[in-house]
Amino acid sequence: MAAADPQWMSDALEVGKIVATAGIAGWASVRLLHSEQTPWSLTMLTGLIGVYAGPRLMALTPWSFGPFVAGIPLVPVFLCAAVVAVFLKMVGLGAVGPRR
């Protein structure tokens, strides 16, 4: 049975941990900027970019990664997600145009 394979379940749990961390990081960074109009997909994208790029960018610096949860360093993930959220907020403000 392929569904009862322990390796398959382990892989599924790892993906679940990554998705949960990305969702929380994206949600927190978007809420920090008071972006109520941000769709759920952009919130998740913000978190996924944070999970992917945060640790890689932090590895280029001499700073500590901070605490790890499920093997994912939290500080770089949240910092990178916040930078992406700021970028998306600026794009949204630029798309609206100047106020009169």
Tens digits of per-residue pLDDT, 26-65? 888 888 877 666 788 888 888 899 999 988 888 898 888 8
For the chain, the domains span 38-100
What value, to the nearest 5°, has the Cα angle with vertex 39 and ends 80 and 44?
Answer: 40
Model-level pTM?
Answer: 0.79
pLDDT digits (tens, 9 = 90+) for 62-80: 888 888 888 888 889 999 9
Which residues lie closer than 8 Å to 49 by C-beta, 6 or more apart? 80, 81, 84
